[in-house]
Structures are given as C-alpha cells and as structure tokens.
C-alpha cells in the first residue's frame, strides 16, 4: 500500500465534502470512509468520519451513591451500559473507532479536520490520542466553510495542532463533569433523606446560575406590587385628520395632580402649536451575525428555540451553504472575498433582484460593516454563495434567508429617518406628539426591520396653529411586573453574565426544559422544584447558583486556550471549589425536601395525624384535573371527610408543631426567598376567622 495521510472529520457529511474537495475521484468505502488515491495536491488520503465524541468522560465507579468522586476517565463509547439513547448507538461508535484505528496503523501523517473550535479540537485530539497516532505527525486543517476552494486552501496551509486548545477542551469537560456528578449526587442524597423515592436531582456548573436567573425573574413577577399612575391624552383634529397628543410629563404619579390637569384641559377648545422640531437621523446597518444574535433573531422572527436555530445552522454548514455557525465574531475579513460571494448569490433567483439593486447602488458600502466582537477561530456567519441543492426544511430555509439578508444588509447604505416633534399648549399645560418618516430605506430594503410608519399622513402644522380638541382622557395605569425570560432574552442574559459558551448556552436552556426545571408558559416559568432548589442553595451553598464561579472558570479556560495558563492550577482551583461545595451539602442534616410539596412520582406530603379521626393522616394533595392544592384525611374514602384548601402558590413545609386553637398542624409558606410566618393549615380555623 502506498503512503497516505489519514484525515479525521467530525461528522459523515463533513467527511464526504472534504473527500470531494480533495479529489473528485475519491472512492467511497464502508463506515463513512473515502479513499483518494491521487488528490488535487498529488498526495494520497483516506478520509474517515467520527460521530461527534467517540470518547466520553465517565466516573470509573458507576454507582451513583458513591460520592464525592474526584477521579475521571475517558472511555470509548463502545460499552452499551455507558451509552445513553438508542440501544444500537454503541455499535456505530464501535465501528467508527475500529475503522479509524485500522487505517491509522498504516498512515504516515494525520490531519485533524474536525470543526475548528475548542470542541472539535477536543474530539479530534482525543480520537487521535487513543488510537495512538504519532503526535509529531498530526497537523490541523482550518476552514470556516465546507466549500471546495476553502478546504483545498486549508490543506495547502496545514498547521501544527495546538496542544493548548485540546487541553482546554478536555479540562472543561472534566471540570463540568466533576461539578455535575458531585453536586447532583449530593443533592439527590439529601432529597432521599426521608427514605422516600424522589427523582434524581441534577445540577451543573452553568445550569445552576441559569435556573437562578429564571427563578429570580419569577419572584420579581410574583412579588411585584402594581404602582398606579395617570396617563393624560387628548385627541385633536387637524383638517379632518385626527391624532393623539400626550401630556408631556406623563405618567403623572399622583391622582390630585392628574385630576387638576384633566379638569383644566376639559375647559379648553383648542390645542395651540407652540413648537415644531424636524430632524433627521441615520440608522446604520445591523452587524454581521454571530451565533447568539442569529439565535435571537431566529426566535423573534420565526419562533425558533436557540437549539432549533443551532441545529438548522449546523445542517446549512454541512451542506456548504453557510460558514461555521459557532462563532462570536461580528467581522467579515477580506479573506472571505465578500464581493465574490455577492456575485455568486446573484445566480440564486430568489435573491438576484435584491443583489442587482445592491450592486447598482452608488451609495453602497465598498467594504462590509464590521462589529466590535471578534473570534480568533472563525469570522461572522455568512452565506457561501452556493445555491442549495435539494429541498431545505422550513427551519433551514428561514434561517438561510435570514443569513443571506443580513449579509446583504452589511453592504447597504444607512437608512435615513425624519422625526418631527410637536409641542402643544392646552390650558397652560404642555402636550406633545412625535412621528417619523422613512426618507431612505437603505439597508432596510434588504434586511426587514420593524420601524413605525408615519402615523400622521397629510398633517401639516405651523407654529401658532389652533387645533380643535375632540376628546380628553385620563387613564389610570399600573406598573407591570418584568416579563418572564423567553429563549432569546435568557440567551442574552447568559451572554451578558458570560456564563456558558456560544456552543453550550442553547443546550443548557433545552436541558432545563427536558429535566422539568422549567416549562414554557408565556415565557420560561420555573417549576416548583426550581423555586425550592434555588432557595435552599442560596441559603446553604450560594456559589452553585452564582454566575461568578462559572465565569471564573471560563476565564481560566480562555487562558488555557492561548497557552497563558497551565493545566494543574486550573484543576486545583476548581477541585478546591467543588470540595467546599460538596462539604457544605454533606454537612446538612436535612435539605427540607422530604417535608415539602415536591411532587415526584405521585408522592403526596404528609402533615401529621388527623385531629378528628385520630387514625388517619392529613395529606397535602394536588388535583391532577384542577391543579389546585388541598388537605384531606387519608381515611377520606373510609368516611373521614376532614379537608381544607391550601394556598395556590408557594412551597409548603411543616412547622413541626400544632395550632393552639384547632390542633391542626402549622405550616410555613415559601415564595422564592420570602419565608412567611407559620400559620395553621386549617383554612377554617377560628384563629383566622377572629383575626
């Protein structure tokens, strides 16, 4: 067999495209492997596909009851007991590992052609290490699109693989695993303290702060006290055109002041124009897409969750239609030849009219507008210019359209908006209105952007004009609670707090929903167990739900990536933090869950002996039909009809004492961080009636 280079791709579609770019006469073999006897550069290649991570990190001791656990190992995904998901998944991993190992034994050189980011570096480095590839013969192919030109350019400019990048990836996996396994096992042990069977309690380094964000916003909403204010508005009519003006200092904070202004305005017949100001503003185009902005816009425009948007983007990348999506960059460097991409997109009938209009515009930008954020590995997300072959799914088509239009927008001229502000005097009180007109659409022709249209068509005002008044109103309004996070705003919060990575934030949100910590209900609403979890952790181990801890690790990982930090100190600091957190949890005698309304596996909460029949127990129950909570005796079906309603919201725990008036158990109500004073669980207790 002639000498050849083994190329490792991350996924089957990527392997196929790399093989096609290296040599059009490549021979497909079994197990997603391709032989290229003579490539474009005269060399011989075998291109093998992984299937994402073929090696996963595990605790050498699989028993969940054993913790703390500070030892970790990387295992082949070839053991059915260690592979989550379909039963036959391990066979795929086994075939891939055996196939790569077979070709590696005869290869002269190796090329890691997995996705060029910390995750792809880790996948490729792990596989090549475990199949015993010669580390001195491993090179790195760097490309941001799967087009033939860029793949060939990458193979003509192979680089020595950066050990620091793979090390940083491994360390992140190991630290995240140790955080998750130790804290989850400790919390599960505490939850099972009563001997009752609860569902496993899971938590992670990024999950903890993210749950806390959602819970804190929920608490703000539940505890919000509406504050009244008064909004004074007036309908005026100018030559048959009615429009609204508003009291300049609205909202008014006190009722007497609002009533005074309102009564004065009712006496007036005209609104006198006292001032007119016209000015124009320029709105520059939107920056090129980074992953976070793409996910947010996909949610606002098409209702896609972040994980759906990322999945669609990865499929478009593997079809060579867009550049690598996992990027933080807002820059499009000259190396990608953006002008050339514009001309290639002109061949696509869907966009040809827009592109020709853009190319013919004398005011268009010669160079694309750049944002401030950069990513050393990849540029901003952009279309490659290739025409889609075959049908796209709805998500893929919508996302591709968004990316193409955003790309066109960065070359377009500024939008020009004219704003008019008018002041009016009504009984010595100032009222105002403002409207705007789009003078030049600029980039908005290519990337649709919602902007209010001119609400006053045909209105022409002059200073001193007296406009007849049609109607006056004084509306009472109340301040609103902050809305729950949605997928886009939570993603923005995670970015702002710098927790997680561009690759993991969407997965974190999806995981919280899958594990029943969060549900979608007019946004992202925490389940009752999340409220309790955050409350208890803040009381006993606040670092688990603090963003500071996870931010500090991300900073260390970034230093590891660029070689300014070594492995040992990072592990030492993180292990010390994990040990301290586990120690705090293990020292707790009771986490409080066995006596709370944590509805797991249809278990109900026992509050104590029934004060009437003396043989049954008072049990707190949630109705599966009405979702209402109430107490009733366990002997209810045998004749004891003792019952009482419970508060509709909050977590309930027993106070371990009885009411002095009726003998029912006392309870404590918890809503977020607020702990109410203990009260009798009997809604009909005479102490409540008299109070």
Contacts of 586 (CB under 8 A, 6+ apart): 186
Predicted confidence at residue 355, as pLDDT, reads: 93
- CB 139 within 8 Å of CB 109: yes
Greater confidence (594 vs 406) lies with 406
Predicted confidence at residue 387, as pLDDT, reads: 92
User: Of the given ranges (225-229, 339-343, 427-431, 673-677), which has the lowest mean pLDDT?
Assistant: 673-677
Cα–Cα dist 414/459, whole Å = 26
- The rounded percent of the chain whose pLDDT value lies above 70 is 86
**Residues designated catalytic:** 324
SS3 at position 140: strand
Whether the full predicted model's pTM is greater than 0.75, yes or no, is yes
Q: Does domain 170-222+483-586 have CATH number 3.40.50.740?
A: no
Of 336-340, 406-410, 600-604, where does the model show the most confidence? 406-410
CATH number of 228-284+415-478: 2.70.20.10
Question: What is the mean predicted confidence (pLDDT) over 395-422?
Answer: 94
CATH number of 291-409: 1.10.290.10
Q: What residues does 424 pair with on adjacent strands? A: 273, 431
Alpha helices in 525-614 (DSSP H): 528-540, 547-561, 567-586
Find, among 487, 518, 493, the residue nearest to 305 by Cα: 487
Question: What is the mean predicted confidence (pLDDT) over 516-534?
Answer: 89
User: Of the given ranges (174-188, 217-231, 340-354), which has the lowest mean pLDDT?
Assistant: 174-188
Query: How confident is the model over 249-269, as pLDDT tens digits?
Result: 999 999 999 999 999 999 999
Predicted confidence at residue 197, as pLDDT, reads: 45
- The rounded percent of the chain whose pLDDT value lies above 90 is 47
Peptide linkage before 251 cis (omega within 30 of 0) = yes
Q: Give the model's confidence band at 675: pLDDT under 50 very low, under 70 low, under 90 confident, else very high.
A: low
Q: Give the model's confidence band at 73: pLDDT under 50 very low, under 70 low, under 90 confident, else very high.
A: low
Question: What integer best gives the mean pLDDT of the chain?
Answer: 85
* 626 has a pLDDT exceeding 90: no
* 529 has a pLDDT exceeding 90: no
Q: Give the model's confidence band at 67: pLDDT under 50 very low, under 70 low, under 90 confident, else very high.
A: low
Q: Give the model's confidence band at 88: pLDDT under 50 very low, under 70 low, under 90 confident, else very high.
A: low
Q: Give the model's confidence band at 53: pLDDT under 50 very low, under 70 low, under 90 confident, else very high.
A: confident
Predicted confidence at residue 203, as pLDDT, reads: 86
Find, among 427, 314, 410, 326, the residue nearest to 368 by Cα: 410
Question: What is the mean predicted confidence (pLDDT) over 613-622?
Answer: 84
Predicted confidence at residue 509, as pLDDT, reads: 93
* 157 has a pLDDT exceeding 50: yes
| Residue-range domain boundaries for the chain | 5-161, 170-222+483-586, 228-284+415-478, 291-409, 604-690
Residue 605, token pair as written in the block? 């909460």
Q: Give the model's confidence band at 492: pLDDT under 50 very low, under 70 low, under 90 confident, else very high.
A: very high
Cα–Cα dist 427/269, whole Å = 9
Please tell me the number of Cα atoms within 13 Å of 48 on its side-chain side.
Answer: 25
Q: What is the DSSP string of 187-204?
A: HHHHHTTTS---PPP---
Predicted confidence at residue 196, as pLDDT, reads: 43
User: Of the given ranges (78-92, 467-481, 511-525, 675-689), which has the lowest mean pLDDT?
Assistant: 78-92
Predicted confidence at residue 195, as pLDDT, reads: 42
Q: What residues does 438 pair with on adjacent strands? A: 417
* 691 has a pLDDT exceeding 50: no
* 276 has a pLDDT exceeding 90: yes
Predicted confidence at residue 571, as pLDDT, reads: 86
Q: Give the model's confidence band at 596: pLDDT under 50 very low, under 70 low, under 90 confident, else very high.
A: very low
Q: What residues does 679 pair with on adjacent strands? A: 667
Question: What is the mean predicted confidence (pLDDT) over 455-474?
Answer: 86
* 372 has a pLDDT exceeding 80: yes
* 597 has a pLDDT exceeding 60: no
CATH (one of 3.40.50.620, 3.30.70.590, 3.40.50.140, 3.30.1310.10) for 5-161: 3.40.50.140
Predicted confidence at residue 490, as pLDDT, reads: 95
Q: Give the model's confidence band at 671: pLDDT under 50 very low, under 70 low, under 90 confident, else very high.
A: low
Contacts of 88 (CB under 8 A, 6+ apart): none
User: Of the given ranges (89-93, 563-567, 614-618), which has the lowest mean pLDDT?
Assistant: 89-93
Question: What is the mean predicted confidence (pLDDT) over 581-600?
Answer: 59
Q: What is the DSSP string of 365-406?
A: -SS----S---SS---B-B--PPP-SPPPHHHHHHHHHHHHH
């Amino acid at each position: 067999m002639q000498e050849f280079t083994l190329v490792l791709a991350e996924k089957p579609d990527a392997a196929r495209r790399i093989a096609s770019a290296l040599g059009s006469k490549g021979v497909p073999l079994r197990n997603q492997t391709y032989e290229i006897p003579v490539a474009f550069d005269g060399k011989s290649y075998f291109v093998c596909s992984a299937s994402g991570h073929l090696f996963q990190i595990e605790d050498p001791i699989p028993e969940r009851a054993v913790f703390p656990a500070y030892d970790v190992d990387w295992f082949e995904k070839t053991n059915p007991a260690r592979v989550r998901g379909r039963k036959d998944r391990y066979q795929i991993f086994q075939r891939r590992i055996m196939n790569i190992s077979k070709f590696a034994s005869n290869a002269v050189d190796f090329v890691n052609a997995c996705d060029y980011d910390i995750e792809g570096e880790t996948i490729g480095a792990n596989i090549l290490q475990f199949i015993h590839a010669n580390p001195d013969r491993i090179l790195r192919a760097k490309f941001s699109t799967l087009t033939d030109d860029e793949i060939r350019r990458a193979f003509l400019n192979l680089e020595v693989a950066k050990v620091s990048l793979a090390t940083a990836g491994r360390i992140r996996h190991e630290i995240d695993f140790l955080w998750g396994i130790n804290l989850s096992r400790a919390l599960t042990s505490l939850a099972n303290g009563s001997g009752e069977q609860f569902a496993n309690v899971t938590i992670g380094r990024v999950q903890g702060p993210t749950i806390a964000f959602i819970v804190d916003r929920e608490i703000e909403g539940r505890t919000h006290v509406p504050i009244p204010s008064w909004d004074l508005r007036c309908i005026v009519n100018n030559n048959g055109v009615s429009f609204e003006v508003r009291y300049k200092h609205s909202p008014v904070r006190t009722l007497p002041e609002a009533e005074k202004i309102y009564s004065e305005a009712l006496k007036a017949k005209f609104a006198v124009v006292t001032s007119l100001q016209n000015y124009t503003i320029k709105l520059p185009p939107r920056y090129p897409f980074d992953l976070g902005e793409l996910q947010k816009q996909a949610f606002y425009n098409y209702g896609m969750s972040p994980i759906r948007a990322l999945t669609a983007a990865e499929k478009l990348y593997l079809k060579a239609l867009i550049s690598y999506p996992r990027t933080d960059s807002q820059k499009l460097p000259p190396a990608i030849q953006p002008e050339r991409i514009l001309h290639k997109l002109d061949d696509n009938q869907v966009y040809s009219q827009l592109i020709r209009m853009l190319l013919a515009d004398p005011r268009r930008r010669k160079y694309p507008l750049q944002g401030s954020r950069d990513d050393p590995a990849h540029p901003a997300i952009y279309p490659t210019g290739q025409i889609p072959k075959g049908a796209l799914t709805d998500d893929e088509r919508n996302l591709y359209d968004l990316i193409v239009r955003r790309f066109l927008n960065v070359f377009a001229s500024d939008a020009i908006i004219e704003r008019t502000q008018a002041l009016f005097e009504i009984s010595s009180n100032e009222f105002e209105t403002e409207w705007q007109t789009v003078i030049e659409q600029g980039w908005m022709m290519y990337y649709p952007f919602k902007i209010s249209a001119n609400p006053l068509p045909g209105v022409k005002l002059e200073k001193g004009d007296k406009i007849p008044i049609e109607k006056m109103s004084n509306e009472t309004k109340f301040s609103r609670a902050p809305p729950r996070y949605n997928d886009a705003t939570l993603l923005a919060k995670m970015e702002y707090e710098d927790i997680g990575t561009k690759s993991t934030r969407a997965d974190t949100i999806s995981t919280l929903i899958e594990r029943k910590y969060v549900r979608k209900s007019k946004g992202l609403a925490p389940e009752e167990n999340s409220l309790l979890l955050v409350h208890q952790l803040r009381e006993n181990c606040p670092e688990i739900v603090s963003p500071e801890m996870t931010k500090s690790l991300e900073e260390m990982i970034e230093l590891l990536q660029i070689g300014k930090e070594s492995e040992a100190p990072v592990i030492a600091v993180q292990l010390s933090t994990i040990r301290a957190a586990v120690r705090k949890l293990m020292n707790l005698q009771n986490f409080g869950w066995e006596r709370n309304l944590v509805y797991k596996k249809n278990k109900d909460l026992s509050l104590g002996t029934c004060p009437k029949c003396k043989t049954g127990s008072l049990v707190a129950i949630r109705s599966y039909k009405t979702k209402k909570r109430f107490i009733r005796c366990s002997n209810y079906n045998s004749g004891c009809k003792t019952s009482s309603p419970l508060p509709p919201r909050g977590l309930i725990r027993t106070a371990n004492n009885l009411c002095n008036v009726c003998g029912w158990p006392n309870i404590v109500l918890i809503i977020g961080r607020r702990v109410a004073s203990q009260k009798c669980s009997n809604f009909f207790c005479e102490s409540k009636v008299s109070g």
